[in-house]
Structure 1
Amino acid sequence: MERIKKTDTSGPLVSIITVTLNPGAQLLRCLDSVTGQTYPNVEHIVVDGGSTDGTRELLAKREGLRWLSEPDKGIGDAFNKGISMAKGQLLGILNADDFYEPDAVERAVKRIGVADVVHGPIRYWKGERLDCLYHPNDALLERDMTIGHPSVFVTRQTYEQWGVFDTTLKYAMDYELVLRFKRQGARFATEKLPMANMSLDGMSDRNWYKGYWEVARAQWMHLGNDPRIPLRLTKHLVRSAARRILESVGLVGLVDFYRRRCAMVKKDRG
């Protein structure tokens, strides 16, 4: 792939938004993955919720970074603050503990004009070990969140036409957003090669059941009274409860086998 020269800023501006709250050392990897992009015309916006772990001091030392630090009303509200600050034609949202592939932005920019939403595979990591490669499928969005949000790039026009994050949702706001775009007729494009990397370390699923309820709520909002929605919700709740029981008694291998064979989207194990 031909690399765009770092001195070339003639292409469309791309805005990357990162939301933080006491992110720790992982934030550096996120920041470096944005500054290290092969595409040069990128602005990085960090919306900090009032960190007390030295994050604000770190942000103040970074050249060219746009950031603010103030309380917010939740993740969706923080995302929307970043979107309102963004000046780019294409917008990506990258979590503080995730990081891009070096050419992710460059590949997304090439889709401007033929796609409203660009996304691609994601590598999931546990520490330094690759856990799996997640292959997305936006054709299945009416059933579940089947794309990886850290890989998603959305045009400014799409946000202006169909809206930003629903701040009444606390866990599935990203799913509701892309489902809304899909139902409104947005054009989705899938990259074949990985776009982003996501860390599984420190992820809490203590509110997993609330997430599933919000997924169902998003589906009711956009799909109406589809009788399959409560059936899928029940399936998710039972399956997740069973997984936790199996993991608690040491049957992790059986859980991995199920994920490989029965998941809606393909996951190649590391």
Structure 2
Amino acid sequence: MMEECKVSIITVCYNSEAVISDTMKSVLNQDYSNIEYIIIDGKSTDSTMQIITEYKTYFDKKGIDFRVISEPDRGIYDAMNKGISIATGELIGLINSGDWYESCAISTMTDYYRKYGFDMFYADLRILRKGKSMIKKAKLQNYITTRDWNHPTTFITKLTYETFKYACHGIYDDWDLILRIRRSGRKIVVCNKVLANFTFGGISNRKNVKDAWSRFKERYKIYLDNGYSKWYIFECLLMETVKYFAA
């Protein structure tokens, strides 16, 4: 029975007092009940942990297994690996502080899992920036680009994560993981429905020529390391150019 499928949701945060509530509420308000929620905090120095603790009663009332670890880490992907290692769900989703799920996110994903089966799943994403929003569509095609994939909507089986971990090498470790999963031949399913919301910003979008050049080199190296054509250099240049000149 699909309702017996346990789903682990992991949120990585650090000094997120301004946004952590929105993320937690979105997990709390899911219309799916068999959830384990794990927060990996990087030893925040603001009121993040106080806010997290205040929500424990609400998760307990809904029967959601609520687990929190607050300790120093070696960056966001190290924290993600930490959360994945202790997750007990058959399916695992990662929603970072400041991002939030639609209330139907987990039920929609598990419905796809029941109907089609998959090793990895992702869906459409709503991106919010400067009071405006756009929908970033999920696609699965031979030409591989981050423009077709949305991390906040991604769910991967625990079994798959037992083989693939985040490398903890740079800011595009998430894309590196996706490329390795794709090359392995695992089954991937996409859903063209908005299941999560993302607020534009962060280190991967900073407008700085030096940062853009560094991101370009890292992205291109990931393509080459995973056996993709050297012609993906144009894809990497395009992505950083668009980010740099975006209004």
Interval of TM-score (by shorter of Structure 1 and Structure 2): 0.7 to 0.9
- How far the C-alpha of 1:229 sits from its partner, in A, is 3.0
Please identify, of 193-202 and 47-56, the stretch whose mean Cα deviation from structure 2 is larger.
Answer: 193-202
Matched with 1:228 is 231
After superposition, the Cα gap between the structure-2 partners of 1:208 and 1:19, relative to the gap in structure 1 and judged at 3 Å, is farther
1:117 corresponding residue in structure 2: 120
Paired AA for residue 123 in structure 1: R
User: 1:59 maps to which residue?
Assistant: 52
8 Å CA contact 2:98–2:199 kept in 1: the answer is yes
Q: TM-score, normalised by structure 2?
A: 0.86
Q: Which residue of 2 aligns with 1:155?
A: 157
So what's the TM-score if we normalise by structure 1?
0.79
Shift of 1:164: 1.2
Whole-angstrom CA distance in 1 between matches of 2:164 and 2:89: 16
Q: Which residue of 1 aligns with 2:29?
A: 36
1:91 equivalent to 2:92? Answer yes
Q: Please name the residue that 2:220 is paired with.
A: 216
5+ residue gaps, structure 1, are: 1-7, 253-270
| Number of residue pairs aligned between Structure 1 and Structure 2 | 233
User: What is the identity percentage for the equivalent residue pairs of Structure 1 and Structure 2?
Assistant: 27
**Counterpart-to-counterpart distance in 2, 1:70 and 1:90:** 25
**Any idea what SS the aligned residue of 2:226 has?**
helix
Alpha-carbon deviations, 1:78-130, whole Å to 9, x = none? Answer: 10001011110000000100000101101111222611111110011136x34
**Range with bigger deviation, 39-48 or 140-149:** 140-149
Residue 14 (structure 2) aligns with: 21
Of 127, 134, 137, the residue aligned with 2:136 is 134
Cα gap change, 1:141 to 1:79, in 2 (>3 Å): farther
- Kindly provide the amino acid, as one letter, of the partner of residue 193 in structure 1: K
Q: Which residue of 1 aligns with 2:63?
A: none
Secondary structure at 1:67's aligned position in 2?
A: strand
Equivalent residue letter for 2:20: L
Larger Rg: 1
Q: Report the Cα distance in structure 1 between the residues aligned to 2:230 and 2:37, rounded to whole angstroms.
A: 42
Instruction: Quote the RMSD (CA, aligned, Å).
Output: 2.3
Q: Deviations over 1:196-233 (max 9, x none)?
A: 00112566514333332222121111115x23133433
The answer for unaligned runs of 5 or more in structure 2 is 60-65
Equivalent residue number for residue 47 of structure 1: 40
Say whether the 8 Å CA contact 2:9–2:92 is kept in structure 1.
yes
